[in-house]
Structure 1
Amino acid sequence: MFKFPKTLLITLFCLTFTAQAQDMLRPYQLLDTPASTLNEATDMTYSALEQSAFEVLGQYSPYPGARVIAITHPALLQAASTKEFGGYAAALRIGLTEVDGKVQRSYANPAYWGTALQVGSLEKVSAELKDVLGDSQPFGSRKGLSNKKLANYRYMMMMPKLKDHDHLGSFTSHAAALATVRNNLASNSNELVKVFEVAIPDSEEVLFGVGIGSGDGNDAKVMGITDGGELRHTAHLPYALLVSGSDAYALAGKFRIALAFPDLGMGTFMKISSAPNAIRDSLESLTKPANDPPGR
């Protein structure tokens, strides 16, 4: 019987292991960390984006020392338009965070989020981000997640999946839904900030990015507990509300937070146990008549 040389077997094993490791996806891509101010790093990022096909949808500062820039791209919008609720994937986030005298620049990995939100791996978007912003390194999970696991992701047994999103409200029409959400965001009565709004072409879906400034689900509180690592997950924010037809939805908090922090331990998750429902309640308040109190 023919036998493979031991060195060949080892080489084949190493190649297979390397290929499998490269297939594992992580939620963020780390760019350079310039020794500059937050404003300078933001200006540098804007300057690069202005020369590209990417569209800046909005920006906000969820807490001191952090900034988020929301962007979209024609290929991203096209992918989002291919399925119902694809609108969740219509925007990507760029995070800038002051850490130890430098500014970490990162962005949400299109391959990771596109796969998890079931609109595809978004290779074109990833390639253009590399061309515009430069080389980057994946981070956000020690081992990473496979395409198969991401495509049907949940944190653990009995936790929500993508399809288990929260239904926030129903309206008489798509126009009525949009008007109600826009009016409530404009009033800012519950410390909810409109970060962006983007319409998905050839569909009745519009995605709103919402900064949350109060309650147990507020951005600063949740990130203060979950985002203590060396590399920051600022590009996780903001949460989003999706108007689809005459209804409003949001990704379940336990799904959305776990997807952004896939290595989060149960002990840390329990410290923010009230956050998922609080996030839902905050977003749900945007679907109520302006004179209705939250939770009514």
Structure 2
Amino acid sequence: MKKILLGALLAFVSFLAHALQPYFYGDKVPGGDLKTAMAAAEQKLTAAGFTVVGRHTPPGIAGHGSIVVTEPGLTSALTQVGGKAIVGVPIRVGVKADGTVSYLNLEYWQRAFLRNDYGKAEGAVKAAAGKLAQALGSGKPFGGEVKAEDLPGYRYMAGMERFDDKSELKTYPGGFDEAVKTIRDNLGKGVAKTAKVYEIVMPEKKLAVFGVATNDPEDGEGWWVNKIGAEHIAALPWEIFVVDNKAYALFARYRTALAWPDLGMFQFMKIGSHPDSNQGMMAKVAGGAYEGKTQ
């Protein structure tokens, strides 16, 4: 009996200690130029049952793009969880002009986004991850290790933000419809030099998520991503999400660190103005104002 209990304990400890990385490499696709490579990756995804909702080629990050897709089982599971789980519905796939493909490690991202609710969607997460691997190829993980048990409360270091911190952008007196209309209209106008990459709106659940390209040459993706590494292109684009009558965007000291967990402190300091400037852009898209100070 003691051996059985010890074995169970060791297995449990081993599970808790296993580390995850944010991305996987897939099989290379025909390249030569970004358009050709993205089309080849997209064909694989649609053939496997994923729905393409957006394409992103960030200005200033030459030869890199991302494809955003949804998967019906994962979407259904996250919708059932509800609330801020909507942020995990879009699945991002990175593509380079030379044919290199990368994609999200769904377990990593969903453990972080769903936190204590991960178990409610674990089956759907694993099923969607299997479909991704089958469609794109199951290559090595990369991007920096984080222990699985640390992801629900992840923060880059003590004193920095977690999932919920500084994420709320605006409350809308007119409710969900006003929130969606405001964000959609502002992205259409290019407010704060942004553009819409995708939108997923579920009016019956009062949930929505928008992909936001940040095209400002001084503060947008083309500035800060090049400083810390464009290999993590599947981190992009950023998102604004709506739950009932509130809009949110994950704060960059959380969202960027989650996407680049191996980032050195010196690298982070090189983009020190990014968290506040990014949140300022998101707030303007939401029709509000951000009162934080650029560092």
Aligned partner of 1:156 in structure 2 is 157
Q: Secondary structure of 2:146's partner?
A: coil
Residue equivalent to 1:3:
none
Structure 2 counterpart of 1:64: 62
d(CA) in 1 for partners of 2:63, 2:217: 21
Matched ranges for 1:18-97 at <5 A: 23-34=18-29, 36-37=31-32, 38-62=34-58, 63-81=61-79, 82-97=81-96
Structure 2 counterpart SS, 1:199: strand
1:75/1:86 CA distance change after superposition, 3 Å: same
**Secondary structure in structure 2 of the residue aligned to 1:233:** helix
Shift of 1:199: 2.6
Classify the secondary structure of the residue corresponding to 2:211. strand
- Paired residues of 1:90 and 1:200 also in contact (CA < 8 A): no
Report the alpha carbon displacement of residue 204 of structure 1 after superposing the two structures with TM: 1.1
Would the aligned equivalents of 1:180 and 1:288 in 2 still touch at CA under 8 Å? yes
Write the letter of the residue equivalent to 1:193: A
TM-score by length of 1: 0.84
RMSD over aligned Cα atoms = 2.3
2:200 is matched with which residue?
Answer: 198
Q: Is 1:139 the counterpart of 2:119 in the alignment?
A: no
The gaps in structure 2 that reach 5 residues or longer are 1-6
Structure 1 partner of 2:276: 277
How far does the alpha carbon of each residue in 1:96-140 deviate from its partner, in whole angstroms, 9 at most, with x for none? 124xxx332101111110111115341011011112222221110
Count of aligned pairs: 269
- Report if aligned partners of 1:217, 1:276 keep a CA contact under 8 Å in 2: no
SS at match of 2:266: helix
8 Å CA contact 2:17–2:147 kept in 1: the answer is no
In the other structure, the counterpart of 2:233 is: 234
The alpha-carbon deviation at position 189 of structure 1 amounts to: 3.6
Rounded Cα–Cα distance in structure 1 between residues aligned with 2:240 and 2:210: 5
Please say if residues 93 and 107 of structure 1, whose CA atoms lie closer than 8 Å, have aligned partners that are also in contact: yes
Distance in 2 between the 1:175 and 1:34 partners?
Answer: 41
Higher relative helix content:
2
Quick one: which amino acid aligns to residue 212 of structure 2?
V
Q: CA deviation at 1:284?
A: 0.6
2:184 is aligned to: 182
Does 2:182 align with 1:171? Answer: no
Aligned partners of 1:186, 1:131: CA distance in 2, in Å?
36
1:9-58 deviations in whole A, cap 9, x for unaligned?
Answer: xxx9xx98xx6699321000101234622222212111112222211111
Q: TM-score, normalised by structure 2?
A: 0.84
Identity of aligned residues (%): 28
SS of 1:195's equivalent in the other structure is: strand
What amino acid does structure 2 have at the position aligned with 1:147?
A: A
Q: Post-superposition shift, 1:215?
A: 5.9
Aligned-partner Cα distance in 2 for 1:186–1:48:
30
Q: CA deviation at 1:217?
A: 3.5
Structure 1 residue identity aligned to 2:46: E
Amino acid at match of 2:255: R
Give the secondary-structure state (helix, strand or coil) at the position aligned to 1:47: helix
- Among residues 120, 124, 129, which one is paired with 1:126 in the alignment? 129
Q: Distance in 2 between matches of 1:22 and 1:288?
A: 42
Change beyond 3 A, Cα 1:170–1:198: same
Q: Given that residues 26 and 139 in structure 2 are in contact (C-alpha distance below 8 angstroms), is that contact kept between their aligned partners in structure 1?
A: yes
